[in-house]
Amino acid sequence: MMLKKILVKKILVTFFIGLFVNNILGQKVIQKSVGTNNKTQRPLSANSNPKEQLKNAVLKSQKSQSISVKVELIVQNKQFVTAFEYLAPNRYSLFETTSGIAVKEAVEISRQRFQKKDNQWVKTRKDYFPLREQLDLYFPIKFTSLKSDIIKIKEVKVTYLGEDFSGEKKYSKYQYTISYKGFDNIDSGVAWVNQTTKFLEKLETENFGLFGATKALFNYHYDKEIKIEEPKNFIVKDWIN
């Protein structure tokens, strides 16, 4: 378990590969002053403090009352897709596929876990990696290290790339890199923040690690109607292999 957490911190993509294959699963920014001679400071523009802007968007997104995330990852000609949903205060669902074949489906309501095994829903009394502990893993941009983190963040760099448009939506586009103390590995990516809602809506990540060059695409939805209900016709077991 400790090893898996280390890999998650080092490369998020490794976490998702382990999640699919094994069937489990800031840095303080000092704002620069604008203006001189004690005059009233002008508000910061979207590109004057990009790290703070992106950090605020990620934190706001994580606090949403409903979150739907789709992650697409291609490694060694295999496509891995995860759909993760959260509905406040305590409902979660997870659906994973590998090359189009379903490999895992799970629901968690409060602290009760349901998981599909051989087309049969199973209500489990034990679970070693609760869905409720996975939500933050679907927001791989980290700005600060926790005291409990084994791998510490060395530096986070964020660059504002300008505006981008999709239909009627206008986005602020950012590029970021994260380096870690004691490791050569660097996580990088591009993030799209909705200028109206200030939510993170799209994220492309890239990493050069254990599996060579790996890329992942995250799509986030916050206004989607989400229903997470207890499955019907389930059986009860202590454990699912």
Paired sense of beta strands 153-166 and 78-87, if any: unpaired
Domain extent for 193: 2-25+47-237
The pLDDT tens digits for 19-50 are 333 332 322 222 222 233 333 333 345 568 99
Give the pLDDT mean for 2-21. 38
* Residue 42 forms part of a structural domain: no
- Confidence at residue 176, expressed as pLDDT on a 0 to 100 scale: 97
Give the pLDDT mean for 166-183. 93
The residue among 51 and 41 whose pLDDT is bigger is 51
Paired sense of beta strands 212-221 and 78-87, if any: unpaired
Give the pLDDT mean for 12-19. 40
The answer to whether 67 and 91 have CB atoms below 8 angstroms apart is: no
Tokens representing 41 are 């400071």
Whether the pLDDT of residue 212 is over 50: the answer is yes
Give the pLDDT mean for 233-238. 87
Among positive and negative, which fits the CA dihedral 49, 52, 56, 59?
positive
Query: pTM score, two decimals?
Result: 0.78
* Residue 38 forms part of a structural domain: no
**What whole-number distance in Å separates Cα of residue 102 and Cα of residue 26?**
37
Band of pLDDT at residue 200, cut at 50, 70 and 90 = very high
- Reference 20, options 87, 86, 75; nearest CA is 75
**What whole-number distance in Å separates Cα of residue 61 and Cα of residue 87?**
13
- Confidence at residue 236, expressed as pLDDT on a 0 to 100 scale: 87
Give the pLDDT mean for 212-239. 88
Whether the pLDDT of residue 174 is over 50: the answer is yes
The pLDDT tens digits for 179-193 are 999 888 888 999 999
Whether the pLDDT of residue 58 is over 90: the answer is yes
CATH code for the domain in which residue 58 is found: 2.50.20.20
DSSP E strands in 38-90: the ranges are: 66-75, 78-87
The residue among 177 and 78 whose pLDDT is bigger is 177
What's the number of domains the chain is made of?
1
Give the pLDDT mean for 102-115. 92
Q: In 3-state terms, the chain is what percent helix, strand and coil (to 5)?
A: 15, 45, 40
Lowest mean pLDDT among 44-58, 137-151, 160-174: 44-58
The pLDDT tens digits for 60-78 are 999 999 999 999 998 777 8
* Residue 31 forms part of a structural domain: no
Lowest mean pLDDT among 86-90, 108-112, 182-186, 229-233: 182-186
* Residue 188 forms part of a structural domain: yes
- Confidence at residue 191, expressed as pLDDT on a 0 to 100 scale: 98
